[in-house]
Structure 1
Amino acid sequence: MSKAKILVVDDEPNNQRILTYTLNKAGYESAAIADGENALRWLEANTPDLAILDVSMPGMDGITLLQHVRAKPQFAKLPIIILTGSGDDDERIRAEEFGIQAFLTKPASSKMVLEAVSNLLDHE
């Protein structure tokens, strides 16, 4: 059985390191990208099993990235976790309109992130 591939999009290098370390240690394959534009380019050549998106990023924010991802038929059902520092209700509502499966607020524990990932991948 191949490892599930998880895309992490976060502009903070420390968050990228922590998330990819946590995911890799748990047996997943992960790719970290710092912004929405490069994430879209990466998605042209790759198909992840799940994506974790930060909301507040320079350039294209995570909600706009989510809109672009959902507009592509091959990613219409991609499990997506929003991991954000704000936890703003309007942000959550906007994200839910585009079909996210989980909304976590930073700092989310490694255990919380792994539980969300595991639950989503087990229910595909």
Structure 2
Amino acid sequence: MATILVIDDSSVIRHLLSHTLTHNGHHVITLACGDEALGLLETEAVDVVIADLEMPSMDGITLLKHIRNGERTCEIPLLMLTASGNEQDREDAQAAGANGFLTKPASSRDLVAAVDRLLHANRSALSSTECRL
């Protein structure tokens, strides 16, 4: 069982992702914004982060950069989930260190497969960027 942190400003999306991932044997923590996520990551260990790209107060790219720059968090696999089909968004997320990118609405099968891939990948292959300490 992995602990997965889901950050999305939509309560409906948080509920759907939590239901899908819990049904597949994972412990899921859901939060509505990046600021809350950074606070939680200071004290809680998570195995994967799934973050929305567009959120108020802190977008997913900014959150990702904070995670990649954190001593405790730099190697946590991060899956970017967004309604944007814009290729530039995908490139920006990858450049910032995202390990995967899914476009909403993603199927439950695609979500579970992406999470499983991140959980089972070699740690050295998980990070597209090195920790910046």
Task: Specify if TM > 0.5.
Answer: yes
* 2:24 alignment counterpart: 26
* 2:127 alignment counterpart: none
Q: How does 1:49-68 map to 2 (within 5 A)?
A: 49-68=47-66
* 2:90 alignment counterpart: 92
For the aligned residues, what is the CA RMSD? 0.9
Matching of residue 46 in structure 1 with residue 44 in structure 2:
yes
Task: Name stretches of at least 5 consecutive residues in structure 1 with no aligned partner.
Answer: none
Q: How does 1:99-118 map to 2 (within 5 A)?
A: 99-118=97-116
Tell me the TM-score normalised to structure 2 length. 0.88
- CA deviation digits over 1:50-103, x for unaligned, max 9? 000001111101110001111102222111100000121121111111221111
Count, aligned residues = 122
Identity level (%): 41
State the distance in 2 between where 1:74 and 1:87 align. 31
Task: Name stretches of at least 5 consecutive residues in structure 2 with no aligned partner.
Answer: 123-133
* 1:79 alignment counterpart: 77
Tell me the TM-score normalised to structure 1 length. 0.95
Q: The residue matched to 2:85 in structure 1 has which SS? A: coil
Runs of 4+ in 1 over 4 A off after TM superposition: none
